[in-house]
Structure 1
């Protein structure tokens, strides 16, 4: 009786072992577990491979799109607007007339200045004649005084008359210069009644209408801004870089720019200028402004004032091992088994350590790692894990509760029905190679 019982037991053990080896060798440990322990259900996880490649560290900053070249068109003289040949959003060429002002009053001032010049020229001729006569009279009296024919008082009187005539001549000449300056000023003011475009561009803002009177700006009054003209062919992003991130931002660095109005569009650009002046936003946040010249594709016309975000490429790491950043976990050393904490790269002076879980033989295996720089999605692993490891990268809830040797299975992607099914691995995931032998 006992002999037969022993034979049956041996057969059962060998059968279970054979079935286990079959499932293990075919990467179907989860199926084996379901048969032996139907109460244990593997945790569904997302997988990603650790890869070797380049990683670019970036600094992100929001900002506004603006033309590199733009001018506010204002009047240099106070006058009424007679004509505005162009409307808002219309293109203009350099030299095109943008504004015509009423020139009648200024033309009258020019005529008055010219008449004043003629009057002063006549007065100058009189002063010059008086000067010549007084000089001749002075010379004559000097000769008479030398022969004792006139007293000293008459010579003194002649010298006084000469000095008075000389002074009057200088005043008349200066008055002529002032009259000519008045004419030049009047001519310039008259020319300023026609305002032309300084460059090829687009009228982005029009603030005035025909018939309005524009005024000249003063120290306390900015004056009338009639319109704004901008060259939309060269656009830039004025990015507000947080002061904590400004140090690595340098002129010449490349950037990726995402304009909020164009969800599917990614622009490239180059940092053209980094301000040395610290500014403070309305919410009290300190920032430095960086100007990024945008590379615009043909046919794209960006509007001034659009909001955007930039990722400035500040550092590039070549040929490094990368993993998804969410796969890197912080775990208390005391919560990890000795099989994990025996890693030679573990710093026992600290209470927490960085860990990455991989899928090996249907189980989660923890690896102590050291990480370096990161970009928006990936982190560099400097020690503890090599490329081509099957890294557990999610979901977040599963990662937070993951334990060493916990049963896991890769989560299948959503089918067209939207139902998520656990993926049946075709073969065992290869064991990851770690720099520390973990």
Structure 2
């Protein structure tokens, strides 16, 4: 019996205590605390090591600055527009008559003078119409002569009967009949005279149509297009086909450009410009703004206004339809202080100490600073800050900016002087 009790106690003692398993016993709590202390010490050591690494790395970073000197100079504000070269005068020639082309006297690039015959229609029918109109006119004139004779005869008969009535030889009824015949003869004469006028008009119309059989040039110029050959039939209608296109004097042309609505307020009559065409990529041609039309043109929701520039083409290098890119000088500023636009976009590097972010900042390497509003562009005028390198140290300088050409900006006022080295960029390097 005693042996059985002894074995039971031994079995009880050999089983693990539940408090030891859960760590709620005194010895378990001590072990758990030691584990927490070890983990905290490891975190502190790792964080301290990383912090020392990055802080020493940041302290050992040096910067190489890219600079450009502010300078005195001239600045031109340019508005760029695209368009095409066109003749100052261009005329489409059609035929006012229907008929068959008998002869064509010109071809492409033929120089013509005002009144030169370009082509001729077959005139057989037109000449017959003229002869018919002349015959009708002659007949009408003959009828007038006959009517005048009839009127004279009727007048004589009426006067004779009037005297006979007075002497009571003839009756009043006979006199009334004679009066009627006289009035009718007068009316017939008026009708025939009107017929003569109508016949004369028909003759003039037939002669005009005969003259229109010769298609002539209305201006001095050159033939750009010819769309007809001898033997072709042309039909006169409201949409008559174009037979010839004539350009005026090509020594004086115009450049038609589309000015963006954002720039139209800057473009004025008399401003100078230069333009390039693909045919002569290494050459610029001068031009001058003649007018900017008030009517707008909208293509794909883009609103533009037609600008017309006069072009001197004495060398005849430019041809109608050539595409061109024009640079219009809308503002010129002479002898002013200029700063590069890249200097306006620059901000100095941000030190890691000023970045914030607590412990996480230790895991971020130093970053180079750039302008936070670089997308805003440097064109806006007003108070700005640039950084000047003095004694190898960046110094901020406040300035007031003005117009820009996209690369340089006018400095209207401020502490910046010519030849000051403004910082445009910076790059980090290891000081060690």
Does the pair score TM above 0.5? Answer: yes
Shift, 1:242, TM fit: 2.3
Q: State the distance in 2 between where 1:317 and 1:132 align.
A: 93
Which deviations, in whole Å up to 9, do the C-alpha atoms of 1:160-182 show, x marking residues without a partner? 33332222222212221221222
Specify the SS of the correspondent of 1:114. helix
Shift, 1:103, TM fit: 1.5
Paired residues for 1:97-176 under 5 Å: 97-145=117-165, 150-176=170-196
Shift, 1:236, TM fit: 0.5
Q: State the distance in 2 between where 1:237 and 1:253 align.
A: 14
Asked whether the equivalents of residues 78 and 330 of structure 2 are also in contact (C-alpha less than 8 Å), the reply is yes
Higher-Rg structure is 2
Q: 1:41 to 1:264 in 2, by over 3 A?
A: farther
Q: State the distance in 2 between where 1:147 and 1:184 align.
A: 54
> Normalised by the size of structure 2, how large is the TM-score?
0.69
| Residue of structure 2 equivalent to 1:344 | none
Q: 2:420 aligns with which of 376, 389, 392?
A: 389
| Residue of structure 2 equivalent to 1:288 | 305
Tell me which protein shows more helix as a share of its residues. 2
Q: 1:327 aligns with which of 326, 329, 343?
A: 343
Check if 1:270 corresponds to 2:270.
no
Shift, 1:155, TM fit: 4.0
Q: 1:310 aligns with which of 326, 349, 358?
A: 326
Check if 1:259 corresponds to 2:259.
no
- In structure 1, the gaps of 5 or more residues are 1-36, 338-351, 408-438
Moved more, 66-75 or 202-211: 202-211
Q: State the distance in 1 between where 2:390 and 2:173 align.
A: 128
Q: 1:374 to 1:150 in 2, by over 3 A?
A: farther
| Residue of structure 1 equivalent to 2:17 | none
| Residue of structure 2 equivalent to 1:374 | 404
Asked whether the equivalents of residues 65 and 423 of structure 2 are also in contact (C-alpha less than 8 Å), the reply is no
How many residue pairs were aligned?
A: 340
> Normalised by the size of structure 1, how large is the TM-score?
0.68
Q: 1:267 to 1:132 in 2, by over 3 A?
A: same
Q: State the distance in 2 between where 1:76 and 1:206 align.
A: 17
Q: 1:209 to 1:120 in 2, by over 3 A?
A: same
Which deviations, in whole Å up to 9, do the C-alpha atoms of 1:22-78 show, x marking residues without a partner? xxxxxxxxxxxxxxx996464463x44333333333333221210001111111211
Asked whether the equivalents of residues 346 and 423 of structure 2 are also in contact (C-alpha less than 8 Å), the reply is no
Asked whether the equivalents of residues 129 and 206 of structure 2 are also in contact (C-alpha less than 8 Å), the reply is yes
Q: 1:96 to 1:114 in 2, by over 3 A?
A: same
Check if 1:89 corresponds to 2:109.
yes
Asked whether the equivalents of residues 331 and 354 of structure 1 are also in contact (C-alpha less than 8 Å), the reply is no
Over 6 Å off, 4+ runs: none
Q: State the distance in 1 between where 2:329 and 2:397 align.
A: 30
Q: 1:247 aligns with which of 258, 265, 270?
A: 265
Shift, 1:112, TM fit: 1.4
Shift, 1:153, TM fit: 4.2
| Residue of structure 2 equivalent to 1:17 | none
Shift, 1:223, TM fit: 0.1
Paired residues for 1:350-429 under 5 Å: 354-384=384-414, 385-393=416-424, 398=425, 402=426
Shift, 1:147, TM fit: 5.5
Specify the SS of the correspondent of 2:185. helix
Q: State the distance in 2 between where 1:247 and 1:258 align.
A: 23
